[in-house]
Chains A and B, each alone.
Chain A
Amino acid sequence: NAGVTQTPKFQVLKTGQSMTLQCAQDMNHNSMYWYRQDPGMGLRLIYYSASEGTTDKGEVPNGYNVSRLNKREFSLRLESAAPSQTSVYFCASSDGGTLTDTQYFGPGTRLTVL
Chain B
Amino acid sequence: GAVVSQHPSRVICKSGTSVKIECRSLDFQATTMFWYRQFPKQSLMLMATSNEGSKATYEQGVEKDKFLINHASLTLSTLTVTSAHPEDSSFYICSAPQGAGETQYFGPGTRLLVL
Is chain B a partner of chain A in the same complex? Answer: no
Residue positions of B touching A, CB distance < 8 A: none
